[in-house]
Amino acid sequence: MADQRERVFSGIQPSGTFTLGNYVGAVRHWGPLQAEYDCIYSVVNMHAITVRQQPAALRKATYEAAAMLLASGIDPEQSVIFIQSEVPQHAELSWVLACNTMFGELSRMTQFKDKSKKNADNINGGLFTYPILMAADILLYNAHQVPVGVDQKQHVELSRDIAQRFNNAYSDTFVVPAPLIQKQGAKVMSLQDPAAKMSKSDPNENAYVAMDDAPEVIMRKFKRAVTDSGGEVRRAEDKPGVSNLMTIYGIMTGKDDAAIEAEFAGRGYGDFKEAVGQSVIDVFTPIQQRYGEILADKAELERILREGAEKARRIAAKTLSKVYRKVGFVSN
Ligand code: ATP
Ligand code: LTN
C-alpha cells in the first residue's frame, strides 16, 4: 500500500562542517520526524557552488555531510537520503520554475542581499536564482513540510508562492509546502557576536562550534563565548549572549529556563559556560563516534547514497514528466 503519511523534505549544504546551529535548528529534528512522516533528505551540493569551492574539498565535504546526517539519526531504511547532483531533475525543474518566478521576488531575498555583501567579487547568477533551485528541491517530491531554521523561512515561502502560481496557471500539480520551524533554537547565535547568526562560513572559528570539534575545542570555544555585563544567569533582552547560551543548554539537557536560572543562582558565568560546553560535548560525543564509523566504511556509505539517489530519481522523474506535459513540452 502506498505511504499515506505526509512528506517531509529538507536539504543541507556541504559547504563546510556542520555547526551547532545547523544541528539545533535543523538536523536534530530530522531523525525524529521519520516516525511521523515520509522523509527525504538531501546534501545539496549544487547549492554549495554558488560560492567558490575547491573541487576536492567539496567532494570530501559531500561525503562527510551525508555521514553526519546518518550519524545524527537519519535511518536509510526509513528515509531517502541522497546527493542533489545525482538527481538531474532538480536542475531541469529549476528552469521551468525560473520561468514562473519574478525578478522582483528574487531581489527581495535577504540571504541574497547578505551573501552579495559577503561575496562582493562573485555575485553570480546562481547566487541570485538559488531560491528557485531550492523550490525545485521541495516541489519535485511534493513535500508538505520543510523543516528548517528560521533563516530559511523566506525561501520556503517563495517556494509556496511559486507552487501556487504554477498550479493556478497549469492546473493542480504541486503540493504547496510549508516551513516547519521549531519554537526553540530556530536561530542559534554566534558565540562571538550574539547579534549575528552562528554560521559555518564565519571567518572567526571561535564564533561557531563544529559538530566534529574535539571536546577540548568545544570547551575552549564556550569558555571564550561573549557574555554580557553583570554576572547573573537569566534570560533577558539586554543579555543576548547569556540568553543564547541558555537556549543551547536547555536544548542539550531538556531543562527549562527556570531550572537553569535556579541551577546557576549565585554562581558566576564561568561555571555556567563550562556546563554549557559539557552539555554539548555529551550530545556530540556519541554522534562523532558513529560519524567516524560511517566514514570508515566508504563502500557502505556509497551504497546507501546510490540507493537513495535511485529512489529520489524515481519520484522526481514522475513529477518532472507531469510538469513537462502541463507546460506543453512534446515527448517522442
Ligand atoms: P552559511 O551560514 O554558511 O550560509 P548555514 O550554516 O546556514 O550556512 P545551511 O546549509 O545553509 O548552512 O543550513 C542548513 C540548515 O541549518 C537550514 O535549515 C538552516 O536554517 C539551519 N541553520 C543554519 N544556521 C543556523 C543557526 N545558526 N541556527 C539555527 N538553524 C540554523
Ligand atoms: N537553502 C538552504 C538549503 C536547502 C534546503 C533545500 C532546505 C537547499 N534546498 C530544500 C530545505 C529544503 C540553506 O541554505 N540552508
Q: What is the pLDDT of residue 82?
A: 98
Condensed to tens digits (0 to 9), the pLDDT of residues 224-251 reads 999 988 889 999 999 999 999 999 999 9
Enumerate the β-bridge partners of residue 197: 189
Catalytic residue status for 200: yes
Q: What is the pLDDT of residue 47?
A: 97
CA-closest candidate to residue 81, choices 327, 325, 310 = 310
Report the nearest-CA residue for atom 30 of ligand 1.
25
Q: Is the CB of 198 under 6 A from ligand 1?
A: yes
Long-range contacts of 164-171 (CB under 8 A, 24+ apart): 165/100, 166/97, 166/100, 166/323, 169/100, 170/326, 170/327, 171/326
Pair 24, 185: CB distance under 8 Å: yes
Report the nearest-CA residue for atom 7 of ligand 2.
11
Pair 236, 216: CB distance under 8 Å: no
Report the side by side order of strands in the sheet with 145-147.
Answer: 80-83, 38-43, 7-12, 145-147, 178-180
In whole angstroms, give the CA distance from residue 172 to residue 162: 12
Pair 26, 147: CB distance under 8 Å: yes
Confidence of residue 90 (pLDDT cuts 50, 70, 90): very high
Test site for ligand 1: of 8, 10, 18, 22, most ligand atoms within 8 A of the Cβ? 22
Catalytic residue status for 118: no
2 pLDDT above the threshold of 80: no
Indicate which atom in ligand 2 lies nearest the CA of residue 137: 10
Query: Which listed residue (153, 187, 200, 255) is catalytic?
Result: 200
